[in-house]
Amino acid sequence: MSENMKSILSLLIFPGGLAVMAAGMIYEYIDRKLVARFQNRVGPRWFQPLADFIKLLAKEEVIPEGIHPVLFQWLPVVAIAGALTSALYVPMFGVEPAFHFTGDLVVTIYLLSILTLCTGLAGANVANRFSIIGATRTLTQLFSYEAPFLLALFGPAIAAGSWDIAVIEQYATSHPWLMVFQPIGFLVALIGLMGKLELPPFDAPEAETEIVSGALTEYSGRGYALFRLGRSVELVIGLTLVAAFYLGGVANPLLFLAKTLGLLLIIAALQSLFARLRIDQTVGLWWRSGAVLVLLQLLVLIALKYFGVAI
């Protein structure tokens, strides 16, 4: 098979594209089901995310007045494209990343942020007050968790001495679980992931009781479907990243499943345990404790590295 063919396949079918989307829906289902069970409810049936997606695609996309229509329609596409692209650099499903180069960790993290950025822009684009407030909150939240999340993922990178996700993953596989040595980093990465996905208790940007649906209030039909799918895709990618870095790598599909699902269980429990944080509380939490703690851990790591202590 030619090199081009292989690239296209990995881009569209596996491990990127379709496979990630399918995984996103399955993980979204599992997440919803778990939260439901924690709340003593039945929860959705297995095809619900797919059914939601198809239903939304079939619906009319209402384009509100007084907006930039091109932006309105293309932002969701860019958002999901960003999420899907980032999947190519991550060891999805326990197989080698489709592509890798030195420094792809940084690229991946920024690709993952495109979704949030697009959500924010989408909210700011329309003249709906709920959307604008939602967009402000989305972006505020982005700036609060992004730095700690980044730093938390840099911890393993420094330990492995590389900026290449594949290399870090190999390092994690061949060493004891990094979660034990860098517990703060692990926690911050996991909770940062929840902030990124706007899961409760960090769902202030889309708090339905305050601002309806936040930045996406005016979205319906296709655009909304894509944004939702993008978020599910990020859920899988984020879980894979955390598992690969902190839980001793995802060397094969079975390990991938076990570890990501384990993390999902924790995330679902955390979602059902707390009341929603106000946006100022979220910012305070991240900058006052999250960022400071990971920074401290990072400094310790660098110091240890400098003195040549094996970690």
Partner 1 sequence: MPETKHGDKFIVPIGPQHPALKEPGHFEFTVDGETVTGASVRLGFVHRGIEKAAEERTYIQDLYLLERICGICSHVHAMAFALGVEKLAGVTVPERAQAIRVLVAEMERIHSHLLWLGVAAHEAGFDTLFMYAWRDREKVMDLLEQLCGNRVNYSINVLGGVKEDVNDVIRDGILSAMDYLETRTVLYLKLVTTERTLIGRTRGIGIMEKQTAARLGTVGPTARASGLERDIRLEAPYAAYLQYPARIVTEQTGDLEARFIVRVKELYESFRLIRGILSTLPGGELTTKMPRRIPEGETISRVEAPRGELFYYIKSNGSDKPDRVKVRTPSINNFASVMATAVGHKLADIPMILSGIDPCFSCNDRMVSIRGSEGQQAVDWEELRLYGIEYYR
Partner 2 sequence: MKIGSLIGDILKSFFKKPATILYPVERIHAPERYRGQLFWEPEKCSGCQLCVKDCPSNAIELIVLDKVNKRFVMRYDKDKCTYCAQCVASCRFACLNMNSDQWELASLRKEPFTVYYGKDEDVSFLLAERAATSHLHSTE
- Nearest-approach distance from CB 143 to partner 1, in angstroms: 15
Is residue 277 close enough to count as binding partner 1 by CB under 8 A?
Answer: yes
193/277 with CB nearer partner 1: 277
The amino acid at 121: L
DSSP string, 232-269: HHHHHHHHHHHHHHHTT---SHHHHHHHHHHHHHHHHH
Give the one residue of 41, 55, 59, 68 binding partner 1; rule: CB under 8 A. 41
The listed partner (partner 2, partner 1, none) that binds 277, CB under 5 to 8 Å by sort, is partner 1
What is the binding site for partner 2 (CB under 8 A)?
34, 36-43, 269, 272-274
- Nearest-approach distance from CB 198 to partner 1, in angstroms: 11
CA atoms within 13 A on the CB side of 215: 28
- Nearest-approach distance from CB 246 to partner 1, in angstroms: 25
35/233 with CB nearer partner 2: 35
- Report the 10 Å Cβ neighbour count for 4: 8
Give the one residue of 173, 261, 272, 293 binding partner 1; rule: CB under 8 A. 272
- Nearest-approach distance from CB 254 to partner 1, in angstroms: 32
Give rounded-to-5 percent helix, strand, coil for the chain.
75, 0, 25
Give the one residue of 209, 307, 308, 310 binding partner 1; rule: CB under 8 A. 209
17/44 with CB nearer partner 2: 44
41/59 with CB nearer partner 2: 41
Is residue 133 close enough to count as binding partner 1 by CB under 8 A?
Answer: yes
- Nearest-approach distance from CB 105 to partner 1, in angstroms: 32
Residue 204, C-beta contacts closer than 8 angstroms, at least 6 positions apart: 137, 141, 210, 276, 277, 278, 279, 282
Contact letters (x/-) for partner 1, 182-201, by CB under 8 A? Answer: ------------------xx
The listed partner (partner 1, partner 2, none) that binds 37, CB under 5 to 8 Å by sort, is partner 2
Per-residue CA distances from 97 to 23, 88, 94, 129, 278 (Å): 16, 6, 9, 42, 38
d(CA 144, CA 138): 10
Is residue 68 close enough to count as binding partner 1 by CB under 8 A?
Answer: no
DSSP string, 161-173: T-S-HHHHHHHHH
Residue 190, C-beta contacts closer than 8 angstroms, at least 6 positions apart: 242, 263, 266, 267
83 and 174 Cβ atoms separated by less than 8 Å: no
The listed partner (partner 1, partner 2, none) that binds 48, CB under 5 to 8 Å by sort, is none
Residue 4, C-beta contacts closer than 8 angstroms, at least 6 positions apart: none
143/274 with CB nearer partner 1: 274
Is residue 40 close enough to count as binding partner 1 by CB under 8 A?
Answer: yes
Task: List residues near partner 1 by CB under 8 A.
Answer: 38-41, 127-130, 133, 200-201, 203-204, 207-212, 272-281
